[in-house]
Amino acid sequence: MIPGLERYTKINDGNAIAKFQIVRRILAERPEDGDIDELWKYHSELKSEFKRLLEEKGDDTDFLNTKPADYSFLDLKIDLLKEMLKECCFCERRCGVNRYKELGFCKCGVKSYYSSEFLHFGEEPELVPSHTIFFNRCTFACVFCQNYDIVYCDDYEVHPEELAKVIDIRFESGSKNVNFVGGNPDQHAHTILETLKHVESNIPVVWNSNMYHSEELAEIIEDVVDVWLGDFKYGNDECARKYSKVKNYWKVVTRNFLRAKDNGELIIRHLVMPNHLVCCTEPIIKWVAENLGKETRFNLMFQYYPTFRAFDYPEISRRLDEFEIRKAIEIAEKYGLTNLV
């Protein structure tokens, strides 16, 4: 069993319940007016009930025999997210646009689109085979984006009930999890939760994110996420602004990783970039070891290659050299990370 992923393993072994399946079974009352402040208040009340049930019934798979509620805590979450779309704050860009009428920075409205879904055998070993669903668009604008073909277009519109059936079919075919990725999943949270409403399988949910989501979004989605598969890109705000056009990166992402640790299990990915060992790789590894624990599952990734607009930035316009790879491993050893992929 991989340290830090004990509950995920229990779900895979049929000895625990995926969190969203508990959320589906918590009875809620449909709000009459949909006032967002009232929705938040009611959400807070039901969140306490969810935490109690997770503690009491989380390992009792007989609870899955309980019929999902006609209107559940999950439905309330969906309604709340749909209200938030009117003044969007899903991510910390906080565009505040009404996504029913216009597009924010991420170029997303209300409808969600995905580019592909398949059983992925190239993820971390404990996730394989992973049912990855690649959503279009992103809240970042990375100049070295390796998925720019996904980020800058809309492919297939998501129909939640249809996608839920696909998730169930992939589960029957051997998927160990449903892995929401992109692009980025955060800006599609309303669609993803509406999809989970129709999923029958007891399958762990993996949220593969840039971890730049807002605290409001975390408050809603953390009750359905079993494993946070988070990118930790930069060790400082300057690099984040330069290469991904984001502000306050370090404060936001470290806050979200700390919260994720308390509300699920965690795998961290760090893509090592040329000429960024001192400014990014070392600060990230040091912070993870000191704040999340040396046993944190950590994927030190060396597959960077220059693409998209990376050639406009000479310092990242090449692959890593052997010295940089060795040095990154030495940094991980220096700070005592013991659970490297």
Domains, in order of start, for the chain: 6-97+114-334 (3.20.20.70)
For residues 73 and 59, what is the distance between their CA atoms, to the nearest angstrom?
A: 20
Phi, psi (rounded to 5 degrees) for 294: -65, -15
Confidence of residue 30 (pLDDT cuts 50, 70, 90): confident
Residue 32: pLDDT above 90?
A: no
Does an H or E element contain 179, and which? strand 178-181
Residue 22: pLDDT above 80?
A: yes
Tens of pLDDT, residue by residue over 63-119, are: 999 999 999 999 999 999 999 999 999 999 999 999 999 999 999 999 999 999 999
Tens of pLDDT, residue by residue over 154-195, are: 999 999 999 999 999 999 999 999 999 999 999 999 999 999
For residue 24, give every residue at least 6 positions away whose Cβ sits within 8 Å of its Cβ, in sequence order, or none.
Answer: 68, 69, 72, 73, 74, 196, 197
Tens of pLDDT, residue by residue over 299-337, are: 999 999 999 999 999 999 999 999 999 999 999 999 999
> Any idea which of 9-18, 32-41, 70-79, 195-204 has the lowest mean pLDDT?
32-41
- Residue 228: helix, strand or coil by DSSP? strand
Residue % of the chain over a pLDDT of 70: 100
For residues 244 and 309, what is the distance between their CA atoms, to the nearest angstrom?
A: 11
For residues 281 and 300, what is the distance between their CA atoms, to the nearest angstrom?
A: 9
DSSP codes joined into one string, 153-164: ---EE--HHHHH
Residue among 56, 36, 21 nearest 223 (CA): 21
Confidence of residue 33 (pLDDT cuts 50, 70, 90): confident
For residues 267 and 190, what is the distance between their CA atoms, to the nearest angstrom?
A: 23
Mean pLDDT of the chain: 97
What pLDDT sits at residue 2? Answer: 78
For residue 62, give every residue at least 6 positions away whose Cβ sits within 8 Å of its Cβ, in sequence order, or none.
Answer: none
Tens of pLDDT, residue by residue over 228-268, are: 999 999 999 999 999 999 999 999 999 999 999 999 999 99
What pLDDT sits at residue 263? Answer: 96
- The CA distances from residue 328 to 35, 58, 208, 287, 324, in Å, are 50, 39, 23, 15, 6
Q: For the chain, state the CA radius of gyration.
A: 20
> Any idea which of 31-40, 59-68, 289-298 has the lowest mean pLDDT?
31-40
Which pTM value belongs to this model?
0.97
CA dihedral 101, 102, 103, 104 (to 10 degrees): -100
